[in-house]
């Protein structure tokens, strides 16, 4: 049985924007969605806001399954969900 990890990007919490097999591509599109306001883009992890990087996102997702990370700015928000497909 093969595990394939996928990353789903949602606009806000409801509208599916895309499904990716790459953390880098999911991070890039989540940043594009949120980077439309006047403030910086942040992620919420461990109860605090942090400035997102691909490395930070990869470390958060390492070893975790079905986890959601929320990106937000003053204008928009996006959510990345890590899950897997079984083949």
> What are the extents of the domains in the chain?
3-86
> Cα 4 to the chain's mean position, in Å?
17
Note the pLDDT of residue 12: 81
Beta-carbon count within 10 A of 25 CB: 14
More confident residue, 12 or 31: 31
Beta bridge partners, 68, equal 81
Taking only the tens place, the pLDDT of each residue in 22-69 is: 999 999 999 999 998 788 999 988 888 899 999 999 999 998 899 999
What crossing angle do the helices spanning 23-34 and 54-61 adopt, rounded to 10°? 120
Structure-token pair, residue 31: 């940043």
Asked if residues 80 and 52 have their Cβ atoms less than 8 Å apart, the reply is no
Show the tokens assigned to 66: 């079905």
């Amino acid at each position: 049985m093969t595990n394939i990890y996928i990353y789903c990007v949602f606009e806000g919490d409801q509208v599916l924007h895309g499904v990716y097999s790459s953390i880098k591509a999911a991070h890039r599109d989540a940043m594009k969605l949120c980077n439309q306001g006047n403030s910086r883009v942040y992620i919420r992890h461990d109860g605090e806001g942090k400035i997102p990087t691909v490395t930070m996102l990869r470390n958060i997702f390492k070893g975790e399954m079905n986890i959601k990370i929320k990106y937000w700015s003053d204008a928009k928000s996006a959510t990345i969900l890590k899950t897997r497909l079984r083949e």
